[in-house]
Structure 1
């Protein structure tokens, strides 16, 4: 694997330490949009891959612990050929232990995919593309490996937390982060908006479409804090700053608890779909 950028080095280290955190956060929560409802945001992607007897090659880019590939493998479609690529050896080791031997797994970067040109029918990715450096090169590589008319479907971030709790979190997080969080940029700012995605995909992809997907969740304040510990920026805080944030956040969200002592929130995602021109 080629030399990693500073952001990639951190992400690689994080996923070596925190294997499976993405699937732990999203695999058990239902997802919905104005156009559909799914068992999870992973299922929103797998539902786009056709069921049938025709040969299909699917690449899961930044496959992590292989949860999405597992959903596809469980179909037992004989002509469905599955490949997963990820930077993290630890994530891939968990995926290898869980997936059938027929699923091909390899370590690599999205900027230099070790796959033949025009060899993939469906390229899927869950909560990864918005974090990638040199995203224009990522777009070129995705288009290269997709067959003409092949499909791209990716779940990316849209907003951090759903509802009022997002504003509350940002209000207490920003002052602490400004003092204690070392600067490190993840991904390209264009990956945060529909207009930006259209700019990135323009020329190599057509039939570009978006769906806003909400993943509702009603945790206790403690459960929500525990989930936030597995997010990149809070992981990057030192222990003192993390404890200061914990106290400030739990105090600030106390008034948002319902009679059941939970907070109505969740994660705001975006489904990006396109066809290789």
Structure 2
């Protein structure tokens, strides 16, 4: 088995400690774009999988605790075959306990999927691909397991926080991070832009399309800080740096509070879609 990279080792440890953190952050918040509204960013992906009687296989890549698969399983489509792959055994254990026995869950890395070629009709992924090392190999594996004309759809990060609070956060975070955050590269920078995704998908995919997905949220400063504690870079800070960041951030966002004490913000996501050529 290929050894885990430094980033993968950290991510595996994080998700051992913080099982279900991604669905906890996103599953309860509505998502919107200029062309539609959804109950959550997970629903953006599930809505792309057709409802009907035809046999369909769906792979959730980096499925985590199985929240997206659970939404699809709740349809009770007799001909819908659901599969999930994740490298975190802790996340998969939660998924196994929550999902029907018919959902097939596999431990593994996205760079080497233990699945037959041309066996999947829809490949979906939520907030994971932009973190993956060797993304070119991940894309090759995605294309390999997809049937010809099979569909790929992923939610990835677009911007960290929505609105002015993003600039405020970066202004206080960067000086602290430059002193206290050990270097660790997550993913490939191409996964952060439309141009980069077009380059990555160019060889094996067609009909590449993008939609900006906003997940608006109006937390109090304390609620926002609690959510930020579950992000990778803040998790990686030592206790002293985290305390300094908390103090500086809460002071800096005070002028952004509305009359009810909340802050208008949220998460900026991107939907990437393509068809296997």
Scaled by the length of structure 1, the TM-score of the pair is: 1.00
Q: Partner residue of 1:229? A: 229
1:182 CA displacement: 0.2
Alignment deviations for residues 227-277 of structure 1 (CA, whole Å, 9 cap, x no partner): 000000000000000000000000000000000000000000000000000
C-alpha separation in 1, matches of 2:153 and 2:2? 26
C-alpha separation in 1, matches of 2:75 and 2:13? 33
C-alpha separation in 1, matches of 2:244 and 2:32? 34
The 3-state SS of whatever aligns with 2:118 is: coil
Q: Partner residue of 1:158? A: 158
Matched, 1:88 2:84: no
Q: Partner residue of 2:216? A: 216
C-alpha separation in 1, matches of 2:215 and 2:2? 35
C-alpha separation in 2, matches of 1:189 and 1:72? 31
Q: Partner residue of 2:245? A: 245
The 3-state SS of whatever aligns with 1:150 is: strand
1:3 CA displacement: 1.2
C-alpha separation in 1, matches of 2:46 and 2:80? 12
* Aligned-pair Cα RMSD in Å: 0.5
Consecutive aligned runs of 4 or more in structure 1 exceeding 4 Å deviation: none
1:43 CA displacement: 0.1
C-alpha separation in 2, matches of 1:210 and 1:89? 32
Q: Partner residue of 1:42? A: 42
Q: Which runs of 5+ in 2 are unaligned?
A: none
Alignment deviations for residues 14-45 of structure 1 (CA, whole Å, 9 cap, x no partner): 00000000000000000000111000000000
The alignment of Structure 1 onto Structure 2 pairs a total of residues equal to 277
Q: Which runs of 5+ in 1 are unaligned?
A: none
Matched, 1:261 2:261: yes
Q: Partner residue of 2:127? A: 127
C-alpha separation in 2, matches of 1:2 and 1:257? 48
The 3-state SS of whatever aligns with 1:175 is: helix
Q: Partner residue of 2:55? A: 55
Scaled by the length of structure 2, the TM-score of the pair is: 1.00
The 3-state SS of whatever aligns with 1:43 is: helix
Q: Partner residue of 2:2? A: 2
The 3-state SS of whatever aligns with 1:157 is: strand
**Of 1-10 and 173-182, the range deviating more from structure 2:** 1-10
1:203 CA displacement: 1.5
Q: Partner residue of 2:275? A: 275
Matched, 1:102 2:102: yes
The 3-state SS of whatever aligns with 1:110 is: coil
The 3-state SS of whatever aligns with 2:115 is: coil
The 3-state SS of whatever aligns with 2:186 is: coil
1:69-88 aligned within 5 A: 69-88=69-88
